[in-house]
Protein backbone atom coordinates (compact mmCIF):
# COMPACT_ATOMS: atom_id res chain seq x y z
CA UNK A 1 0.00 0.00 0.00
CA UNK A 2 1.16 3.53 -0.77
CA UNK A 3 -0.38 5.18 2.32
CA UNK A 4 -0.86 8.40 0.38
CA UNK A 5 -1.08 11.30 2.83
CA UNK A 6 -2.45 13.87 0.40
CA UNK A 7 -2.49 14.91 -3.19
CA UNK A 8 0.87 16.59 -3.53
CA UNK A 9 0.18 18.15 -6.91
CA UNK A 10 -1.55 17.70 -10.23
CA UNK A 11 0.73 17.66 -13.28
CA UNK A 12 -0.53 19.34 -16.45
CA UNK A 13 1.43 19.15 -19.70
CA UNK A 14 1.53 22.40 -21.70
CA UNK A 15 3.36 23.55 -24.83
CA UNK A 16 4.28 26.87 -23.17
CA UNK A 17 3.91 27.86 -19.50
CA UNK A 18 4.02 31.61 -20.12
CA UNK A 19 1.15 31.38 -22.61
CA UNK A 20 -1.05 29.68 -19.99
CA UNK A 21 -0.21 31.77 -16.94
CA UNK A 22 -3.10 34.12 -17.52
CA UNK A 23 -5.63 31.28 -17.40
CA UNK A 24 -4.29 29.90 -14.12
CA UNK A 25 -3.76 33.29 -12.47
CA UNK A 26 -6.68 35.36 -13.76
CA UNK A 27 -9.32 32.74 -14.53
CA UNK A 28 -8.67 30.26 -11.72
CA UNK A 29 -7.18 32.73 -9.28
CA UNK A 30 -4.13 30.64 -8.55
CA UNK A 31 -0.93 32.17 -7.21
CA UNK A 32 2.09 31.76 -9.50
CA UNK A 33 5.04 30.54 -7.44
CA UNK A 34 7.72 30.53 -10.12
CA UNK A 35 9.42 28.08 -12.43
CA UNK A 36 12.14 25.50 -11.99
CA UNK A 37 13.93 23.31 -14.53
CA UNK A 38 14.24 19.62 -13.73
CA UNK A 39 17.16 18.55 -15.94
CA UNK A 40 16.68 14.84 -15.25
CA UNK A 41 13.20 14.93 -16.77
CA UNK A 42 13.94 17.57 -19.43
CA UNK A 43 11.11 19.78 -18.26
CA UNK A 44 10.52 23.31 -17.09
CA UNK A 45 7.99 23.25 -14.26
CA UNK A 46 5.73 26.17 -13.33
CA UNK A 47 4.02 26.05 -9.93
CA UNK A 48 0.60 27.48 -9.11
CA UNK A 49 -1.05 27.37 -5.72
CA UNK A 50 -4.81 27.38 -5.18
CA UNK A 51 -7.06 27.49 -2.16
CA UNK A 52 -6.97 28.62 1.46
CA UNK A 53 -4.06 28.19 3.85
CA UNK A 54 -3.89 24.63 5.14
CA UNK A 55 -6.00 23.21 2.28
CA UNK A 56 -3.99 24.30 -0.71
CA UNK A 57 -3.57 22.40 -3.92
CA UNK A 58 -0.56 22.84 -6.14
CA UNK A 59 -0.70 22.61 -9.90
CA UNK A 60 2.47 21.76 -11.75
CA UNK A 61 2.61 22.92 -15.37
CA UNK A 62 5.15 20.93 -17.36
CA UNK A 63 6.80 22.31 -20.48
CA UNK A 64 9.35 20.20 -22.41
CA UNK A 65 12.92 21.52 -22.69
CA UNK A 66 14.07 18.93 -25.26
CA UNK A 67 12.44 16.97 -28.09
CA UNK A 68 13.05 13.68 -26.24
CA UNK A 69 11.40 14.90 -23.04
CA UNK A 70 8.54 12.65 -21.85
CA UNK A 71 6.35 15.78 -21.99
CA UNK A 72 7.29 16.38 -25.64
CA UNK A 73 6.10 12.84 -26.41
CA UNK A 74 2.84 13.51 -24.57
CA UNK A 75 2.31 16.72 -26.55
CA UNK A 76 2.77 14.87 -29.84
CA UNK A 77 -0.43 13.01 -28.97
CA UNK A 78 -2.13 15.93 -27.18
CA UNK A 79 -0.91 19.08 -28.94
CA UNK A 80 -2.88 21.50 -26.73
CA UNK A 81 -1.68 19.88 -23.53
CA UNK A 82 -3.73 18.10 -20.91
CA UNK A 83 -3.83 16.30 -17.59
CA UNK A 84 -0.54 14.43 -17.29
CA UNK A 85 -0.26 12.92 -13.80
CA UNK A 86 -1.47 12.99 -10.21
CA UNK A 87 1.16 13.02 -7.45
CA UNK A 88 0.58 11.73 -3.93
CA UNK A 89 2.60 12.68 -0.89
CA UNK A 90 4.27 9.67 0.76
CA UNK A 91 6.83 8.94 3.43
CA UNK A 92 9.65 6.47 2.95
CA UNK A 93 9.39 6.40 -0.84
CA UNK A 94 11.94 3.63 -1.43
CA UNK A 95 10.04 1.28 0.90
CA UNK A 96 6.77 2.13 -0.89
CA UNK A 97 8.37 1.28 -4.24
CA UNK A 98 9.83 -1.97 -2.90
CA UNK A 99 6.43 -2.95 -1.47
CA UNK A 100 4.61 -2.13 -4.72
CA UNK A 101 7.12 -4.07 -6.80
CA UNK A 102 6.86 -7.05 -4.43
CA UNK A 103 3.07 -6.94 -4.80
CA UNK A 104 3.42 -7.22 -8.58
CA UNK A 105 2.75 -3.64 -9.62
CA UNK A 106 4.68 -2.28 -12.59
CA UNK A 107 6.85 0.73 -11.89
CA UNK A 108 8.52 3.22 -14.20
CA UNK A 109 11.01 4.12 -11.46
CA UNK A 110 12.25 1.40 -9.11
CA UNK A 111 14.36 3.94 -7.26
CA UNK A 112 13.38 7.56 -6.60
CA UNK A 113 14.84 10.40 -8.63
CA UNK A 114 15.12 14.12 -7.92
CA UNK A 115 12.00 16.21 -8.48
CA UNK A 116 11.31 19.91 -8.21
CA UNK A 117 11.45 21.62 -4.78
CA UNK A 118 14.07 19.07 -3.56
CA UNK A 119 11.52 16.29 -3.53
CA UNK A 120 12.16 12.66 -4.34
CA UNK A 121 9.77 11.27 -6.90
CA UNK A 122 8.92 8.03 -8.69
CA UNK A 123 6.30 7.09 -11.25
CA UNK A 124 4.13 3.99 -11.30
CA UNK A 125 3.39 2.47 -14.67
CA UNK A 126 0.00 3.69 -16.03
CA UNK A 127 -0.98 0.07 -16.75
CA UNK A 128 -0.77 -0.58 -13.00
CA UNK A 129 -2.73 2.55 -12.08
CA UNK A 130 -5.69 2.20 -14.45
CA UNK A 131 -4.52 4.65 -17.07
CA UNK A 132 -3.67 7.52 -14.72
CA UNK A 133 0.03 8.24 -14.57
CA UNK A 134 0.70 8.23 -10.82
CA UNK A 135 3.65 9.84 -9.09
CA UNK A 136 4.83 9.27 -5.55
CA UNK A 137 6.40 12.36 -4.05
CA UNK A 138 8.40 12.53 -0.84
CA UNK A 139 8.85 16.11 0.34
CA UNK A 140 12.23 17.38 1.44
CA UNK A 141 12.86 16.43 5.06
CA UNK A 142 12.49 19.51 7.25
ZN1 LIG B 1 4.78 15.78 -10.74
Task: Calculate mean pLDDT across residues 108-112.
Answer: 96
Long-range contacts of residues 104-109, Cβ cutoff 8 Å, at least 24 apart: none
6-13 and 120-124 as β-strands: parallel, antiparallel, unpaired?
unpaired
Q: Which domain holds residue 51?
A: 6-138
pLDDT of 2: 76
Q: 53 - beta bridge partners?
A: none
Domain membership of residue 1 (yes or no) is no
The 10s digit of each residue's pLDDT in 52-74 is: 887 888 999 999 999 999 999 99
Domain membership of residue 53 (yes or no) is yes
CATH number of 95's domain:
3.10.180.10
pLDDT of residue 41 exceeding 90, the answer is no
Q: How far is the CA of 97 from the centre of ligand 1 (A)?
A: 16
Which percentage of the chain shows pLDDT scores above 90? 77
Domain membership of residue 48 (yes or no) is yes
Task: Calculate mean pLDDT across residues 8-20.
Answer: 96
pTM value surpassing 0.85: yes
Domain membership of residue 45 (yes or no) is yes
pLDDT band at 6 (very low <50, low <70, confident <90, very high): confident
Q: How far is the CA of 11 from the centre of ligand 1 (A)?
A: 5
Domain membership of residue 102 (yes or no) is yes
The 10s digit of each residue's pLDDT in 72-97 is: 999 999 999 999 999 999 999 999 99
* Total domains in the fold of the chain: 1
Domain membership of residue 116 (yes or no) is yes
Q: How far is the CA of 122 from the centre of ligand 1 (A)?
A: 9
The C-alpha atoms of residue 62 and residue 16 are separated, in whole angstroms, by 8
Measure the CA angle with vertex 18, ends 15 and 20; round to 5°: 70
Domain membership of residue 10 (yes or no) is yes
Q: How far is the CA of 27 from the centre of ligand 1 (A)?
A: 22
pLDDT band at 142 (very low <50, low <70, confident <90, very high): low
Amino acid sequence: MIHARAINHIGIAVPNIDAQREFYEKTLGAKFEGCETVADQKVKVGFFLLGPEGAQVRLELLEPTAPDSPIAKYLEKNPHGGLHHVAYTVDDIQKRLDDLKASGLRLIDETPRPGAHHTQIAFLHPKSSHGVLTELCQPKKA
